[in-house]
Amino acid sequence: MNACAKAGWHPSEVAVLKTANDARFWDRAASKYAADPIADSAAYERTLERTRHYLKGSDTVFEFGCGTGTTALRLASDVRRIVATDISAKMIAIAEEKAAAANCANAEFQVATPGAMPDADGTFDAALGFNVLHLMAGREAALRDIHRMLKPGGIFVSKTPCLGEMNLLVRLAVPLMQLVGKAPYVSSLDAKELEREIAAAGFEIIERGRHASHGKDARPFLVARRR
C-alpha cells in the first residue's frame, strides 16, 4: 500500500496529485522533448495514415496529451478544427509557437485534461490519444470523459506503449527512474487490459494494429467507435 492509500486518500485525489507532479516533470522536459527526433518515422507515418482514414474534412477533433503539437499540426489540414490539450504549459507554449510559424489557424492548443472540459459533451467527431494513456493515473475516468465528449458513433484513436509487454529490464528500470525524478507516472498495462478499459468506457474496438517497422511492437494502435 502506498503512502496516499495509507493516508486514506480517494483514488481521484491521488490522480490529481500525480497529474500535478507529472505536469512539472513534462514542463522540465519540454525543450528536450521538442528537439528529439521521432524514433521510428516509418511507424509514425503509418499511424498518421491509418488515423486519416477515419477523419473527414468537416470533423471537429480533440487530442489529449498532444505534447508539442506535432501530430495535431500534421492532421490539422485534414479536418475542420482540432483542439489539442496537454497538462504541460511549456509543451503547449511550444505547440502554439509551431502553429504560428506554420500559419495553422484551425489548430487550437490548451492546457487541460479531458476531465477539465465539462462543456464539451457531444462536441467532437473524433478524439486522439497518442503515447499518453499509459501515463494517466486516472485513465479509466479519462476514457469515460472521452466517451462523453464524442458525438454518438464518434471515433477514438489511440496508440499506447504497454509496459506490461516490454522486456523485464525496462519494467524494472522505470520505477528506479521514477525514484530519482527521471520518469513520470507510468502504468504497467498490456493491450488486452487496455482494450477492456476502452470497451468498459462504452466503445467498440473496430481496428487493431502494430505499426513498428522493426523489432517487437509494444505500442498497440487501436480505433474504437462510441456506442
Task: Check residue 11 and give its pLDDT.
Answer: 54
Percent of the chain with pLDDT over 70: 93
3-state SS, one letter per residue, for the chain: CCHHHHCCCCHHHHHHHHHHHHHHHHHHHHHHHHHCCCCCHHHHHHHHHHHHCCCCCCCEEEEECCCCCHHHHHHHHHCCEEEEEECCHHHHHHHHHHHHHCCCCCEEEEECCHHHCHHHCCCEEEEEEECCHHHCCCHHHHHHHHHHHEEEEEEEEEECCCHHHCCHHHHHHHHHHHHCCCCCCCCCCCHHHHHHHHHHCCEEEEEEECCCCCCCCCCCEEEEEEC
Asked if pLDDT for residue 3 goes beyond 50, the answer is no
Query: Residue 64's beta-bridge partner residues?
Result: 85
Give the model confidence (pLDDT) of 27-63 as tens digits.
999 999 999 999 999 999 999 999 999 999 999 999 9
Please, are residues 44 and 67 in contact by the beta-carbon 8 Å criterion?
A: no
The mean pLDDT of 3-21, rounded to a whole number, is 61
Asked if pLDDT for residue 14 goes beyond 70, the answer is no
The three cell numbers of residue 36 are 528529439
Give the model confidence (pLDDT) of 189-204 as tens digits.
999 999 999 999 999 9
Please, are residues 181 and 25 in contact by the beta-carbon 8 Å criterion?
A: yes
Give the model confidence (pLDDT) of 108-158 as tens digits.
999 999 999 989 999 999 999 999 999 999 999 999 999 999 999 999 999
Write down the pTM of the prediction: 0.91
CA–CA dist 126, 59 (Å, integer): 7
- In CATH, what number does 3-226 get? 3.40.50.150
Please, are residues 188 and 171 in contact by the beta-carbon 8 Å criterion?
A: yes
CA–CA dist 99, 106 (Å, integer): 9
